[in-house]
């Protein structure tokens, strides 16, 4: 007998549950922006957005900062297949600007095993910024494989695959205003 394949809507209806609403995210970003502005008071800042996942978060965060802020972007690729998973993530696209002597804040969507953020930090350290800190919206602490903590962190979340507010599954769901766990039946690549 043929089994019926569920069809995704690529909308909130594909979520098992909403973990963080738009309002909860907005409120937390207000307080994160305050923390960051206080910490860099009297200095200027270069924000490095880790594409593509941190794009939505970075856009909202930088508009709430109260310090002179430059923006640059970086992209890292993790190896998807199991045979390559022991390799560190590759820097697929680096900065456009010179960060030597600058106060750099790397902004990422989620800290999971920690491999991506630590590879990005090692890469950026080579450019000799005067300071290098990290900010993540989400932290899955129980998944960590590398000894790394973010300097600024939005929410600790449990170990579930989440999408929305910049986070994707196969490039879908980034546009959702909230964050939620994707139903298992939609975590299947076409
Ligand atoms: P790490 O190198 O820390 O294991 O992974 C970080 C990257 O994995 C994140 O920047 C993100 O792209 C991806 N990732 C980890 N957990 C999730 C998740 O629950 N949902 C989505 N959409 N991406 C995730
Ligand atoms: Mg990412």
Dihedral angle over CA of 26, 147, 171, 6, nearest 10: -90
Q: Could you tell me if residue 46 is inside a domain?
A: yes
What number of CA atoms fall less than 13 Å from residue 68's CA on the CB side? 5
Number of domains forming the structure of the chain: 1
pLDDT of residue 85: 57
pLDDT score, position 83: 52
118 within a domain of the structure (yes/no): yes
pLDDT at position 138: 98
Residue 186: inside a domain, yes or no? no
- For 93-131, how does the pLDDT look when each residue is reduced to its tens digit (9 = 90+)? 899 999 999 999 999 999 999 999 999 999 999 999 999
Please give the backbone phi and psi of residue 76, each rounded to the nearest 5 degrees, phi first: -120, 140
DSSP string, 118-151: HHHHHHHHTT--SEEEEEEEEE-GGG--S----S
pLDDT digits (tens, 9 = 90+) for 41-84: 999 999 999 999 999 999 999 999 999 999 999 999 876 554 55
Please report the atom of ligand 1 found closest to the CA of residue 116.
Answer: 2
In terms of C-beta density within 10 A (0-12 exposed, 13-18 middle, 19 or more buried), how is residue 57 classed? Answer: buried
CATH number of 76's domain: 3.40.50.2020
Fill in the DSSP letter of residue 32. Answer: H
Contact assessment for residue 51 and residue 39, using Cβ atoms and an 8 Å cutoff: no
The mean pLDDT of the chain is 94
Residue at 172 is within a domain: no
For the question of whether the overall pTM of this predicted structure is more than 0.85, the answer is: yes
Which helix (H) or strand (E) segment is 94 a member of?
Answer: none
Decide if 158 contacts 140 (C-beta within 8 A): yes
- Predicted confidence at residue 1, as pLDDT, reads 61
- Mean pLDDT within 9-25: 97
Q: Is the bond into 52 cis (omega within 30 degrees of 0)? A: yes
Kindly state the average pLDDT of the residues 12-40.
98
112 part of the active site:
yes
Domain region containing 134: 23-157
Give the per-residue pLDDT at 80: 58
> If you take atom 10 of ligand 1, which residue's CA is the nearest one?
110
Q: What are phi and psi of 101, to 5 degrees?
A: 75, 5
- Inside any domain, residue 1: no
Instruction: Note whether residue 132 is domain-resident.
Output: yes
**Catalytic residue of the set 60, 112, 147, 156:** 112
Q: Please tell me the predicted confidence (pLDDT) of residue 66.
A: 97
pLDDT tier at 87, thresholds 50, 70, 90: confident
Residue 163 covered by a domain: no
Whether 171 is covered by a domain: the verdict is: no
């Amino acid at each position: 007998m043929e089994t019926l394949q569920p069809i995704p809507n690529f909308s909130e209806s594909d979520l098992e549950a909403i973990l963080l609403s738009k309002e909860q995210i907005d409120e937390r970003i207000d307080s994160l922006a305050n923390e960051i502005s206080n910490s860099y008071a009297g200095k200027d800042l270069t924000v490095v957005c880790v594409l593509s996942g941190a794009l939505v978060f970075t856009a909202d965060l930088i508009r709430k900062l109260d310090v002179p802020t430059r923006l640059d972007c970086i992209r890292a690729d993790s190896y998807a297949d199991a045979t390559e998973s022991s390799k560190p993530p590759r820097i697929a696209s680096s900065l456009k600007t010179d960060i030597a002597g600058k106060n750099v804040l790397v902004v990422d969507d989620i800290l999971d095993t920690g491999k991506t953020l630590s590879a990005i930090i090692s890469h950026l350290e080579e450019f000799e910024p005067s300071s290098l800190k990290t900010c993540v919206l989400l932290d899955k602490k129980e998944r960590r494989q590398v000894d790394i903590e973010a300097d600024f962190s939005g929410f600790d979340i449990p170990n579930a695959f989440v999408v929305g507010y910049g986070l994707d599954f196969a490039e879908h769901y980034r546009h959702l205003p909230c964050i939620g766990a994707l139903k298992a039946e939609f975590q299947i690549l076409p």
